[in-house]
Structure 1
């Protein structure tokens, strides 16, 4: 089929190239964000006099209908259209005609994807901050419950000084509070609108980017188009915050795994959060804690993956940046699951 960029090519794209370069199999995760920014873009183009009221209304209605199909699982994703952006724009043209093609006016996929990722990360950062708050509340509850229990503290895994067990749990409350502050600080740098930067050097339309930022609830507008489209430092910073939070979850998991063993017997884990052995009936395995500890390696790996991708790129956008999404999506899912798992363990621990 004809590609949106195919005008200067004399041969059809090789099928291998389509399969190798497609990203829609994973970047469709950004579909709702892509439609949200497209609606805002239509409103900005209307304000700039590019669209009439009737055209803008038709475009927005078409985008809303696509959004409903995506939410309902009815949307048919096509790998030959490469990515989430071209899939949505092609479907819009199929539904409302040639007007759909005008949606891309004053916009490149370079500033489009950077905007999608920032919208996605704003939402996910808020969710992670909320999960961290619930975990801290649970740690305070456990601390209150163990206030009068005296236990040994350890250094070098050797008994050191007696402490209230509450003091131990509140140490992790402090660690997760610092993790929360890191995510909130990272959020300030995520909260910057790239849309309007074009492919690298801006666009030739009088777009009111501050209006777009207000429509999409961004606090700031990017000041340099090369930086806005070609850097992913905001994702790297987010992945670092995920990795360090994972480190704290892993250390807490390690302690509770050891403490729940027969050799220590300091804590009991709830049966509903453990599994057994197909061969050894006496076993009660702390699988949730072990997997939280193990998944921290994925959080580290995703950070290193992106940093390695970024380290040798020429300035501005390169296709390598397509590789930022799978580590990002994986870290979000992994960390959110680990936070929920740890909270459940603490709720049932005795």
Structure 2
């Protein structure tokens, strides 16, 4: 339930940010939390809203729509769209962190790292999947999983949480001993919710690698553990120790995976509500740290969902495709700089704005 006190506090913070903006200086965040509901368009959010009218995203005053096209295609994929959000450059299908010319582009996460911020990537799929990869790696193809992992570890990203424990076996099978050693030297490794909770509360934990399933984590209805909210809490707890600030990306892949499979409404709603729980964790942190910018959006819509009525006055959900669509996706934001993100924007424009907010000389 949304408490009136919490809403008032959020509104006060938003008004203060607006006042700063009207004074001629764009407010600057020193923490950015970006949350992706992969594959979620307007209809996925409609289903979530009908299931729970107290969604956390309702507390976010800035709203907009995002054009998800790539550099040479109308219907995009996670790799080029995540690259656009991460680097401010639209790219081609399959490309990770590079432009259409295959030249690497600096991401907002990398820029944050260079400024001394902590960094984190959290997902319910493998940590080297397209969306997290685009923020910390540069390869022409999303299939280059070991190269992506190498670059994430080289940076190094402070917090890596999600699926992908099978990669540890692949490292051994392929004889990649240097990468194995680097991971062992730099990261504290966990593979259970209990271990994650313990290590995230340990003040000496600065780098953590948590892999909780061989590949994509189980669906929410089957008891995903840790939940996305639990991983988000752990990530924030660890990154908050950095006095300079942090950039954290959080992704729920289930809203995309199960839209591809055209699964039942119950499955999709559960994924959206679990994602919204993670948004709620971010907003709770924002209430105590109003210098934080929170952005909630999606890389693209999947399934071409339509919602129509029936004779019983219920909602009937139908899919038009098992693939992605060109539909605009929603964006929600709150915090310093959020006013720039409202309205109808291209995905690369969002990326440029985020990178600009990390530039001390920009207004």
Higher relative contact order (CA 8 A, sep 6+): 2
**Structure holding more helix per residue:** 1
Larger radius of gyration: 1
TM range (shorter): under 0.3
Structure 1 or 2: more strand by fraction: 2
Alignment TM-score, normalising by the size of structure 1? 0.23
